[in-house]
Amino acid sequence: MSEGPGLRERKKAKTRALIQKAALRLFRERGYAETTVEQIAEAAEVAPSTVFRYFPTKEDLVLVDQYPPFVEALRAAPPELNPVQAVRVAIGHVFAAQTPEERNDGLERERLMFTVPELWTASIDNIRGVLAGLRAELAAREGRDPDDPEIRNVTGAVSGVMLALWFEWAADPGLDAPAAFDRALAHLEAGLPIARQAEPG
C-alpha cells in the first residue's frame, strides 16, 4: 500500500526539522563557518544529498521560511480589526502555537542571522520578501492596492517595530518575546505616545 500525501508530507516535515535541529546544534557548538554539510548529514543520520534536497544552500538551514503560519493567522484575524490590530492578533497566535523548543530554535536562528556576516547578507532578500508579503496581505485586508502609500506606511511602521524587537530578543534571550511583541504593537496601535518625564522638583 502506498503512502498517502498527508503521511508523505509529515515525513518530509519531520526529516526537514531533524536536519535543521542537527545543524543548529552544530552551529552553536562549532560555529557556523566551521560546520560542514557533511557533518550535519552525519549528525542527522541522512545522506548529504538529502540535506541539499531540503536545504539547497547552507544558509537555507538558518533562513527557514517562518512566514506561512503568520500569513494563515493574519488571514484568519477578524475583518473588523485594523491592520495593526490584525498583526498583533496574528503574532500572538503564532507564539501561542509554538512549543518552548520551537521558540528557542527560532531565537537561535535569529541570533545566527544577526551575528554571522554571510547570513546577514543572505537574509536581506528574505526580509525584503517578508515585507512585500506583509504589504500585500494588509492591502488585501483593506481592499487597497499594495502600492497605496497608506499601506506602505502601515507596513513600514509594523515591520520597524518588529525588527527592532527581534534585534533586542537576539541580544537578550531572557526577554519574554510574546509579551514584548504584544506591548510594542499595542503601543503602535495607540499612536506611539511618549509619556513626558516629570520635571524635577
5-56 with 62-189: one CATH topology?
Answer: no
The pTM of the full predicted model, rounded to 2 decimals, is 0.78
Residue 195's pLDDT is what?
A: 82
- Mark the ranges of the chain whose per-residue pLDDT is less than 70: 1-5, 64-67, 198-201
8 Å CB contact between 123 and 61: no
Q: How far is CA 89 from CA 66, 92, 123, 161, in A?
A: 16, 5, 25, 15
- Out of 3.90.1300.10, 2.70.98.40, 1.10.10.60, 1.10.630.10, select the CATH number for domain 5-56: 1.10.10.60
By C-alpha distance, which of 61, 54, 49 is closest to 21?
61
Residue 2's pLDDT is what?
A: 54
Neighbour tally for 194: CB within 10 Å: 6
By C-alpha distance, which of 44, 106, 53, 105 is closest to 36?
44
Q: Which CATH class is domain 62-189?
A: mainly alpha
Number of DSSP helices (H) and strands (E) in the chain, helices first: 9, 0
Q: Residues for the chain: how many in total?
A: 201
pLDDT digits (tens, 9 = 90+) for 111-137: 888 888 888 887 888 888 889 999 999
Residue 190's pLDDT is what?
A: 94
Phi, psi dihedrals of residue 59, rounded to the nearest 5°: -60, -35
C-alpha cell at 94: 503564532
pLDDT digits (tens, 9 = 90+) for 4-27: 557 888 888 889 889 988 998 899
C-alpha cell at 163: 525588527
Neighbour tally for 38: CB within 10 Å: 11
